[in-house]
Amino acid sequence: MTIVTPQPLDQEDEEMLVPHTELPEGPQPVQGPVAFDGTPPIEMPQPMEVVGAAENQAVEEPQASRFTWTIENFSRQTSKKLYSDVFVVGGYKWRVLIFPKGNNVDHLSMYLDVADSSSLPYGWSRYAQFSLAVVNQVHNKFTVKKDTQHQFHARESDWGFTSFMALSDLYDPGRGFIMNDTCIIEAEVAVRKVIDYWTYDSKKETGYVGLKNQGATCYMNSLLQTLYHIPYFRKAVYHMPTTENDMPSGSIPLALQSLFYKLQYNDTSVATKELTKSFGWDSYDSFMQHDVQELNRVLCEKLEDKMKGTVVEGTIQKLFEGHNMNYIECVEVDFKSTRKESFYDLQLDVKGCRDVYASFDKYVEVERLEGDNKYHAEAHGLQDAKKGVLFIDFPPVLQLQLKRFEYDFTRDTMVKINDRYEFPLELDLDRDNGKYLSPDADKSVRNLYTLHSVLVHSGGVHGGHYYAFIRPTLSDQWFKFDDERVTKEDMKRALEEQYGGEEELPQTNPGYNNAPFKFTKYSNAYMLVYIRESDKEKIICDVDEKDIAEHLRLRLKKEQEEKEDKRKYKAQAHLYTIIKVARDEDLIEQIGKDIYFDLVDHDKVRSFRIQKQTPFNLFKEEVAKEFGVPVQFQRFWIWAKRQNHTYRPNRPLTAQEETQSVGQLRDFSNKAQNAELKLFLEIEIGPDLQPLPPPVKSKEDILLFFKLYDPEKEELRFLGRFFVKSSSKPTEIISKLNQRAGFSPDEEIELYEEIKFEPCVMCERLEKRSSFRASQIEDGDIICFQKTPQAKADDKYRYPDVPSYLEYVKNRQIVHFRSLDRPKDDDFCLELSKLHTYDDVVEKVAAKLNLDDPSKIRLTCHNCYSQQPKPHPVKYRVPEHLLDMLVHYNQVSDILYYEVLDIPLPELQCLKTLKVAFHHANKEEPAIHNIRLPKQSTVGDVLKVIKDKVELSHPDAELRLLEVFYHKIYKIFPLAEKIENINDQYWTLRAEEIPEEEKNLGPQDRLIHVYHFTKEAAQNQMQVQNFGEPFFLIIHENETLADVKVRIQRKLEVPDEEFSKWKFAFLSLGRPEYLQDSDVVSSRFQRRDVYGAWEQYLGLEHSDTTPKRSITANQNRHTFEKPVKIYN
């Protein structure tokens, strides 16, 4: 069933957004989306904005609709992925794509897909804001809904959430997402048609250039543009001492000077790789999106340190440092305590504030210290007091960080605050008679500021895009700096459109619903930079070449010239042919060192760049000058790629071919566009070491290349080439080969033909008594030879013959082993073969660790993109060969992680380990126990083990096992339940004694849930937040709340004074109904178990004094969000 209705989007994304990719097993990077080809994560592509006047683009109003998809027989769906019916929004065809069992994750995966992407014209794109939801069919409040926005195009034709919601929640029959085996999916889509362009020239249109994005560095680009456009700051950076011997990749001052110079004088966008290298970042850091506020602090601190002892020492403080005064002033007595503090930026609340002035009002708001919270005023004792903050002085450049991100205790996650928040073009901090200023403030300084920059974050809490609106000269003209692109913008775009809040769009389908369509604006101001009016002449100063050190100007001009040369080289490439000439000297140099198979690496031979129309005979004169070999002694052979993927000299050029131009010859020899002409130069050297004319070659003559193998030294080397007759036999050349090898003339040797090496090595013994023709030997073939192995050579040498040595070379692999406890440090390296079996690998590791039992070694593979161990270890003997453990997507790693187990891995894999918290009746802190039992064991078996480990209140005490999640009890496990399917990764397993009174429930007694809670304001409404340890309590018929409170206070051992502040409420589906002492508690609770029993409970409302847990709990092992660091 399909229903399409218009509907507003009203929720914010909480999840990493990714295009649908059928993901391989293993962790996915959390900083950005996953590309279709498994390449590293890239920064989430920014949503296309409504283009401004500078772009002169046609933009239509958005259109929006809601699509409902009802999926019946949901649990019986066998397809890995399901597509909905096609629906149309904004004239485009869409559909929803889901993976009912997860896209290789234990979550439902859901995406919005462009239904007709395969048939759309080249270069198509479309932008949409959308939400996806799984409807809760019991109570709509629990519907899971996530929002995002995306620019769809050919490479990313679908977008959404790989981990939309846990499968355990989705398929739990008690949760209400699947009823009567039916699941309901909703999609709400708003489409904006935008015509994009590819040929925009930022410098030509605006006079400014952008910064290239390295992967996820837009947050850095927006900050760097803001700092660059503070000329006083730029001049100070130019004046930091650097020398001509410094390298930008190792010097932050020089890298920043170089970047600023290029921003000032380049005609095209500027790369930031030198700067990030100077920070000590690797490529993975460039794919990690961070907080622009955090980077601002870290970078300024680093520059402040680098400026010490130089002519620009103190610049950071002069520009950005202000001071405030924290005070506590007693009301009844004459006592005041003050403390002066400095700041480089101010963090202003967005939540609950309509504009910047409201945030400053809140910042200096006076807090009353009275009642239980009185201030201890030294000799005066406890006193009523006023506590607050006032400003002593503001800096010339005022940086305001807007608190758009907050921790939501209800959802136990960070959320983005998209509320409307206004900021003025002129900011007067002297308003209302200087109410923000302390009495010590210098009143002669006029704190009137004008807006210079607006840094914007577009997206959700786990990903998005940063860009900046800046007016560099403080004129009325604003510019948008969006990575490589710079555009002119009007004031409305830079200010009002970045306030956030909701945007109302006119409805385009009035037949459906006449209500206006509103959606949350996910693009909003995140950081504001103001410049004080009285200081703007000093700060917006002239910066020209005289401010730049001469060595820096020379270095950067040279770089520009080299870049221009490269550009010209590239622009003229179609006029030239690259000719690569390999000689005997190259084969001697490379074989056995750089290469072992075939004859030469063409990237390491002499290369000539010759105009295409040049006759080949003229090119030979160029070769004569280069190599000192006269033209008449040169003979060139064309290389050819054979069907078995080897690359060999195929035949000499004919006299007719040598009369052609090099371009014609290249086109003839290689049809591929922009291909190179690869040649082998045959030169015959006489006894006097002088070149000779090349010998006449008949059809009977075959040119062979020879390699010599020494099994004792495990060495392969090139031993030359010569012609043989196809009718002759190998026995006829043995004495010649012995002579070249330095063997005795009658030495017995074995000959092998090197046939191919991809995908596997083929090297076959050459029959010495058969003719070369009979053995199908031809021009360019390679013959490897060695002394005939002795009878016991297999025992004496690791690789006694050519085939075994080439097999070894093909498959050898140096593997770096790291302890899983220290995943950044190499412990040891082993030379292994890619063909080694699982057993071979663990045996060698065990031997290295002096471990008797290799089965106690457990290995974990390496994630090439995150540079971390994969989340799941290698299973016993599941990978067939070492190569299977090293391959990650299309890359081969050389790192493995190891653990030494206390029991053999096969035995461990038959066991299930559960982490159980045991709550002792008389102890506050629970004890954590790791219980390891066979997978077929039951909950009863687990409790037996716990009984043996813990101290019980009495020997006959009975235990039970509970499932606790977010401070609620969701399940009491039956003793007979198998432990194999119990998941302790997300839920807490709690074991506790069953109180004696619960064993003797009367017919009218009820066992109820009791939870602690507080109420907090969230999204303009009060929400219940549970905390602490939940528990069960028996309530008797007609028992009043007063009686129940006595028992609860005794159970929890709460002091009278504190307990008197507690409130008690009956809660159903999150709504509290407060109880009076005279209320009969049992009358509120139903007498039978119903869906959501955990949602009906007796709530104890009081303040939460327990320490807050880390918001990154329950993440995969080894997964963490790195803070911004500048290492150098």
Q: Is there a contact between 545 and 35 (Cβ–Cβ < 8 Å)?
A: no
- Is residue 1043 helix, strand or coil? helix
DSSP calls for 197-245? -S---HHHHHS---B---SS-HHHHHHHHHHHTSHHHHHHHHTS---TT
* Spatial CA neighbour of 813 closest among 716, 891, 886, 717: 886
Q: Which residues pair with 389 in a beta bridge?
A: 326
- Distance between alpha carbon 234 and the CA centroid of its chain, in Å? 32
* Spatial CA neighbour of 353 closest among 342, 340, 362, 366: 362
Q: Is there a contact between 575 and 612 (Cβ–Cβ < 8 Å)?
A: yes
DSSP calls for 707-723? EEEETTTTEEEEEEEEE
Token duo for residue 617: 């005979």
**Helical ranges in 1053-1085 per DSSP H:** 1056-1059
Taking the C-alpha atoms of 166, 168, 172 and 174 in order, what is their torsion angle to the nearest 10 degrees?
-70
Token duo for residue 1081: 């508690």
Measured distance CA(533)–CA(426) in Å, rounded: 9
CA angle 797, 798, 799 (to 5 degrees): 90
DSSP calls for 5-17? E---B-----S--
Side-chain half-sphere CA neighbours of 605 within 13 A: 25
* Spatial CA neighbour of 683 closest among 611, 628, 646: 628
Q: Is there a contact between 420 and 491 (Cβ–Cβ < 8 Å)?
A: no
Measured distance CA(50)–CA(61) in Å, rounded: 10
Helix-then-strand count for the chain, H and E: 25, 59
Measured distance CA(89)–CA(732) in Å, rounded: 81
Q: Is there a contact between 733 and 769 (Cβ–Cβ < 8 Å)?
A: no
Spell out the SS3 assignment of 572-583.
Answer: CHHHEEEEEEEC
Which helix (DSSP H) or strand (DSSP E) does residue 301 occupy? helix 292-307
- Is residue 778 helix, strand or coil? coil
Sign for the CA dihedral angle at 819, 820, 825, 829 comes to positive
The residues annotated as belonging to the active site are 218, 465
Token duo for residue 780: 């360019």
* Residue 340 one-letter amino acid: K
Cα–Cα distances in angstroms (integers) from residue 336 to residues 379, 386, 435, 464, 975, in the given order: 12, 9, 19, 46, 64
**Helical ranges in 867-926 per DSSP H:** 882-886, 905-909
Q: Identify whether 759 is preceded by a cis peptide bond (ω within 30 of 0).
A: yes
Contact partners, residue 216, CB within 8 Å, separation at least 6: 31, 32, 41, 42, 43, 44, 286, 287, 288, 289
Measured distance CA(945)–CA(956) in Å, rounded: 15
Which helix (DSSP H) or strand (DSSP E) does residue 259 occupy? helix 252-265
Which helix (DSSP H) or strand (DSSP E) does residue 569 occupy? helix 550-571
- Is residue 900 helix, strand or coil? strand
Side-chain half-sphere CA neighbours of 728 within 13 A: 14
- Is residue 136 helix, strand or coil? coil
Measured distance CA(265)–CA(222) in Å, rounded: 19
